[in-house]
Structure 1
Amino acid sequence: MDHPSGNTQRLVTIAARCGYTAKGMIYITIGWLSMMAVLGMGGSNGGSTEAINKLATQPFGSVLIALLAVGLFGYTAWRLVQAFFDAENKGRDWKGILTRLGYVLSGLIYAGVAINCVELLLDSGGGSSSTSSQTRTVMAHPGGIVAIFLVGLGFLGVGLRQIWRGWHHSYEKNWHLNEMTRTQRLVAANVSRVGLTARGIVFMIVALFLCLSAINTDPDDARGLGGALSAVAEQPFGPWLLSLVALGLMAYGGYCLVNARFRDVDA
């Protein structure tokens, strides 16, 4: 496909930067709520749905949720541009195709979060169902158990990839480093390393529960992001571990904000 230019590229740039900002705010909220739960200050261990519900209760909550919805739809658009225009030159070999399919899946996931925001604004009683209920629906179909196991392996791969990226700084090739000061580079690199590592660990926990769910043919074993955080809290030294993960997820939100400002979003 021809690469967009001119006004189209400006729209892509706006969509991508708004999208990374919205994604960052969600992860910062998730981490903050988990930290508040550790401190006994009314927080909770939840995922994106709980985060947007909490934001909706804040002053000007409807405005915040509306902006989140716009930003997340923008992020979906950017992911689709990455996939269909091969914005990052992933190519058409099997590895490139898988990576680009991953962009599509990521975009669709955040489109679902954006739709949740719209449903909340419309007070339609919408909202995403739990991970266990979604898993039960998939398992009810032929091959569903295998599909859940493969999804679990997919989360495991993404989690490992996130940790690898964090420690090898591979994300820096997508940044306009020449626009950053030395201090900004140092801060951004450390925040990104912590954030990507924390998100990778959480994804690996989600993968474990999905694979166990498939092996035991029990959808109630499946857990999403919120369930993974609760599992961390249930371990020995759970509050301390959860505090570290919460800080890490907030750092991942910071990594998204760095992307919003400095990432190359040339389609």
Structure 2
Amino acid sequence: MEARRRGLEWLARLGYAARGLVSLLVGLIALLAAVNGGGEVAGSKGALQAIFTQPWGSAMLLVVALGLFGFALWRAMQSLADADRRGTGWGALAARAGQLVSSVIYVSLGIFAVNLAIGAASGGAEDQAARDWTRWLLAQPFGRWLVGAVGLAILGAGLGMGAKAFTASFRRHLACGPGAAEWVIPLGRAGYAARAVVFLIISAFLIIAALQADPSEARGLGGALVALQAQPFGRTAFGLVALGLAAFGAFEFAEARYRRIAP
């Protein structure tokens, strides 16, 4: 039992590191685009493709995939087994439902990484994937309501991340001393603030897709960044969000070290 517990903890910590690497690459790629006044913006799948193009890229991707699967397993335990001891209040149940959705997302991302590493996948069209599942939802009974509900759920997640940035409530899950907290907490605040902006943009596009019954309005992470970049004030805001996403990646590496994990 102890060996199983330690193995799960190791997988969870590897998962935080893998998630951090992906977010760090997304932020750095976006930051380069902001500094150059334009250029390609990548989402999570684009970040995995960037890893694939490096020397030993396939091997690195398989390690990252293992981490993503480990993070998905930890998310499932947070949701189903209440590993963080959130309880069963309405707010706690909503947060745990979000963790279960996150688990599914990271399983999907891990599968994409494996397929990319073995040559069974060639592209990371996140926006197209978002449009495909939005189109599928719209084709179901009450489809517009379903898409709208997903948009509102993502809106709620974005507002929750904004609250985390403001209150730094994430610190209660960290076991680090005052010295480490001096740099870990600001990284977490900046990271959650940037993710809040991205989630709010994604939710806005989904709500528009629901209102117009038009799946082409849906966007993924990369599409949300492109939309922000295209605004009149977008270059400055885009640069700040890119910096924040990179900060979140660094924060996730800190979580891999300091996160309290009780499998």
Q: TM-score, normalised by structure 2?
A: 0.94
Cα drift, residue 59 of structure 1: 1.5
Q: Distance in 2 between matches of 1:237 and 1:42?
A: 14
Q: Which one of the candidate residues 76, 82, 95 is aligned to 2:78?
A: 82
Contact 2:20 2:252 in 1 (8 A): yes
Task: Report the equivalent of 1:109.
Answer: 105
Q: What letter matches 2:162 in structure 1? A: I
Which residue of structure 1 aligns with residue 154 of structure 2? 155
1:42-53 → structure 2 map (5 Å cutoff): 44-53=40-49
Matches within 5 A, 1:107-186: 107-125=103-121, 129-177=128-176, 180=177, 182-186=178-182
CA distance in 1, matches of 2:162, 2:37: 30
Determine if contact 1:33/1:43 at 8 Å carries over to the other structure. Answer: no
1:134 offset after TM fit, Å?
2.1
**Which one of the candidate residues 4, 8, 13 is aligned to 1:8?**
4
CA distances 1:112-138 after superposition (whole Å, capped 9, x unpaired): 000000111121136564312221122
Partner Cα separation in structure 2 for residue 96 and residue 244 of structure 1: 31
Could you tell me how far 1:42 is from its partner in structure 2? 8.6
Q: Which residue in 2 is equivalent to 1:217?
A: 213
Matched, 1:226 2:225: no
Amino acid paired to 1:110? Y
8 Å CA contact retained: 1:12, 1:265: no
Partner SS, residue 53 of structure 1: helix
Q: Which runs of 5+ in 1 are unaligned?
A: none
8 Å CA contact retained: 1:35, 1:43: no
Match of 2:27?
Answer: 31
Question: Hey, what's the Cα distance between the residues in 1 that align with 2:220 and 2:163?
Answer: 22
Residue 221 of structure 1 deviates from its aligned partner by 1.0
- The one-letter code matched in structure 2 to 1:112 is S
In the TM superposition, what is the alpha-carbon distance from 1:43 to its structure 2 partner? 5.2
Residues of 1 paired with 2:55 and 2:216: CA distance? 36
| Whole-angstrom distance in 2 between the partners of 1:142 and 1:55 | 40
Distance 2:232 2:109 in 1: 33
Asked if structure 2 preserves the Cα contact closer than 8 Å seen for 1:213 and 1:222, the reply is: yes
Aligned residue among 13, 16, 21 for 1:20: 16
How much does 1:41 deviate? 9.2
Q: Closer, same or farther in 2 for the Cα pair 1:56/1:43, shift >3 Å? A: farther
Contact 2:31 2:242 in 1 (8 A): yes
Secondary structure, aligned partner of 1:52: helix
The Cα of 1:212 is off from its aligned counterpart by 0.6
Q: Secondary structure at the match of 2:179?
A: helix
Given residue 149 of structure 1, which amino acid in structure 2 is its aligned partner?
Answer: G
State which drifts further: 153-162 or 128-137: 128-137
Matched, 1:245 2:241: yes
What amino acid is the match of 2:153?
G
What CA distance in whole angstroms lies between the structure 2 residues aligned with 1:41 and 1:208? Answer: 25
- Cα distance in 2, alignment partners of residues 263 and 70 from structure 1: 19
So what's the TM-score if we normalise by structure 1? Answer: 0.92
Q: Which moved more, 1:233-242 or 1:185-194?
A: 233-242
